[in-house]
Structures are given as structure tokens and as C-alpha cells.
Homo-oligomer: A and B are copies of this chain.
Amino acid sequence: MYGLIGKMRAQTGKRDELLGILLESTSAMPGCLSYVVARDPADADAIWISEVWDSSASHKASLQLPEVKSAISRAMPIIAGFDTSIETEPVGGFGLGR
């Protein structure tokens, strides 16, 4: 499995709009086992995304899906930056759907 844990920052006041875009296409990505989008309660513009994929290839391929490309193009103008991006090797747990 391949995992990503990342923190991104929305333009001021745009976090809820960005959350909405991030949540649009999460159910339609082949090889995606988990994709959780969260607010940071300590940081008004920050969003955490935790992802688990069956492989890094599936993650990479997802970036070419039409709905994901559309979401990225709409999200980019309201993303102020990326604070954290960590690759992980998930080994198991609960909630790894298919």
C-alpha cells in the first residue's frame, strides 16, 4: 500500500470552498482505499488529507482522471500552499475500503 499525509493551506476564508472541491471525487478513484479530508481546528486555513492507495501507481493514475483534473484546476487558485507532505507505507488497520 501507498499512503500520503498532507497539510495544505487555503487562501484566507476559502477553506470550506476548498474542502467542498476536495470531497467531490473521493468515491470514484480506482485503487483508493481511504481518503479523509479534515479541518485543522488550531489553524483556520489549514486542511489535512490522509490517503491510502493500493499502490503509488494508482495514486499517480488518479491525477489523470477527468474529474480529478477538473477538481485540481478549480482548487489551485484557492490553495495558498502546502505545509506538510509525507509518504507512508500503510500496513493495515480499519476502514480500508474498496
Contact = CB atoms under 8 A, between A and B. Distances in A.
Interface of A: 1, 3, 5, 19, 23, 26-27, 29, 32-42, 48, 50, 52, 86-97
A3 B96 contact: no
Given A96-B95, A97-B95, A36 B86 contact: no
B94 A38 contact: no
Number of copies: 2
B5 A88 contact: no
Contacts of A95: 32-36, 52, 95-97
A97 B29 CA distance: 17
Contact of A48 (B38, B86, B97): B86
Contacts of A23: 91-93
B26 A94 contact: yes
Nearest to A28: B94
